[in-house]
Structure 1
Amino acid sequence: MRFVVNTIAPYQLTQALLPMLGATGRVVNLSSAAQASVNLDALQGLRQPNDSDAYAQSKLALTMWSGALGMQYAQPGPMIVAVNPKSFLGSKMVKDAYCVAGNDLALGADILIRAALSEEFSHAHGLYFDNDLESLASPHPDALNEAKVEQVVAVIERLAAK
């Protein structure tokens, strides 16, 4: 289920909106610092990882397709970026999973607004912004491995077409 919500649905929404976005449009995908190698069987629903593994894998898969699509549409096209809004924000998920109050949700909201509207992100095509570091950063190494990205994107495209 996490892959459907965190990876497949945003991909389908982005694909549906791309024709309407134009060269100055932006897609800001909600990623996470929690990223783990994507198990293709889990992505396809053939294997059920535990909740934290599924979350981390789904966020890496989102980051991978964001990077691939962002580079594909870099010129001319909408800017597509994956953003870790901040680790341990005070969301229900963080409170339930870690029994901590978490950081101010406004920190996460602010960076998403900046990514969507500020000039600072106008050339962030296909990149990953880590708000823990408050800068563009390298995502999980798998997101930089072209062969792995192609495999994950191919599965996502097949699932999205169903």
Structure 2
Amino acid sequence: MKPIAQQTILITGSSDGLGKQTALALAKQGATVLLHGRDQQRLEASRQAILEETGNSHVEAYLADFADLSEVRKLAQTLQAQHPRLDMLINNAGIGAGKIAEARRELSRDGYELRFAINYLAPFLLTHLLLPCLRQTPPARIINVGSVGQSPIEFSDVMLERHYDPADAYRQSKLALTMFTFDLAEELKGEQITVNCLHPASLMNTRMVYESLGYALSTVEEGREAVMYLATSPALDNVTGKYFDQRRQARAHSQAYDLAARRRLQQLSEQLTGLSNP
């Protein structure tokens, strides 16, 4: 892998929590760090905080709401124009289950179940659109921030219209992200672009976890160390298509290894995002 100080790295969902802490750690190592968030005020505050703490002037901020796939496309277009070379993409942006007791089924602006849209369809689309940038000067890495919480996809009711549970919605979206990881790794074999997925830590002390459950079991720093391992370890130069539980390779939900299910998900995802079959 190239030295981190020579890399341009995009981290989605980096105005707060795990994404912000990962961005800070990479900026300290001299990387050009591209922050993403959906709230302009929080995003700019995070950029300023990282600039002040690291002295690294190569920290930029990009605004996009992942609940709207048209904004994902605009983000990709902007990045392609301003950073035609990208060395690493960390898909971290996501939405949790919310306040379980008060949760109701919500839709994205495109009419899709909100957690499936933000946690899965948005990174699926963004990653595909940014592949030309990642192919410019390999090697490159794609890291998908998943979860140990995974529920199988019921293809007859992917949008959970018949039975909605916010925890199931979250877990389904994270399993979909893992399935995408395995498929994309196969697609990119031989291109010096690795694709891996990880569960960073259980119930970190983030705003998202506190909103959902009111308590935490681990720290953002623990999760950051796991993400940094996948981002910076030379031992992973040729490791691709794997699921990690923190820093250990682990076994994902069994559906992630079902080739027929993955093919169905890929076809559905291409249809929902407007991507044609490669």
**Under a length normalisation based on structure 2, what TM-score does the superposition of the two structures give?**
0.54
- Do the aligned residues in 2 keep the contact of 1:91 with 1:102 (CA within 8 Å)? no
Higher helix fraction (1 or 2):
1
Specify which of 188, 197, 213 is matched with residue 73 of structure 1. 188
2: CA distance between counterparts of 1:29 and 1:45? 23
2: CA distance between counterparts of 1:78 and 1:117? 14
The worse-fitting range, judged by mean Cα deviation, of 53-62 and 37-46 is 37-46
Matched, 1:110 2:259: no
Runs of 4+ in 1 over 3 A off after TM superposition: 41-48
Sequence identity of aligned pairs in percent?
29
User: Which residue is equivalent to 2:174?
Assistant: 59
The DSSP-based 3-state class of the residue aligned with 1:88 is coil
1:10 alignment partner AA: P
- Do the aligned residues in 1 keep the contact of 2:141 with 2:193 (CA within 8 Å)? yes
User: Which residue is equivalent to 1:144?
Assistant: 257
CA deviation after TM superposition for structure 1 residue 92, in Å: 2.0
2: CA distance between counterparts of 1:88 and 1:45? 24
Structure 1 unaligned blocks of 5 or more: none
Distance 1:77 1:40, change over 3 A: farther
**Under a length normalisation based on structure 1, what TM-score does the superposition of the two structures give?**
0.90
1:8 alignment partner AA: L
The DSSP-based 3-state class of the residue aligned with 2:252 is coil
Matched, 1:6 2:119: yes
CA deviation after TM superposition for structure 1 residue 49, in Å: 2.4
**Which string of whole-angstrom CA distances, capped at 9 and with x for unpartnered residues, describes residues 84-129 of structure 1?**
1111111223223222133110111122122122212222211111
Structure 2 unaligned blocks of 5 or more: 1-113
Distance 1:93 1:3, change over 3 A: same
- Do the aligned residues in 1 keep the contact of 2:198 with 2:243 (CA within 8 Å)? yes
**Which string of whole-angstrom CA distances, capped at 9 and with x for unpartnered residues, describes residues 140-159 of structure 1?**
00001111111111111111
CA deviation after TM superposition for structure 1 residue 138, in Å: 1.2
- Do the aligned residues in 2 keep the contact of 1:28 with 1:115 (CA within 8 Å)? yes
The worse-fitting range, judged by mean Cα deviation, of 8-17 and 112-121 is 112-121
1:85-100 matches, cutoff 5 A: 85-100=200-215
Q: How many residues align?
A: 160
CA deviation after TM superposition for structure 1 residue 44, in Å: 4.6
- Do the aligned residues in 1 keep the contact of 2:205 with 2:219 (CA within 8 Å)? yes
**Which string of whole-angstrom CA distances, capped at 9 and with x for unpartnered residues, describes residues 22-66 of structure 1?**
231111001000001012244356556211000000000000011
The DSSP-based 3-state class of the residue aligned with 2:218 is coil
Aligned-pair Cα RMSD in Å: 1.8
Greater Cα radius of gyration, structure 1 or 2: 2
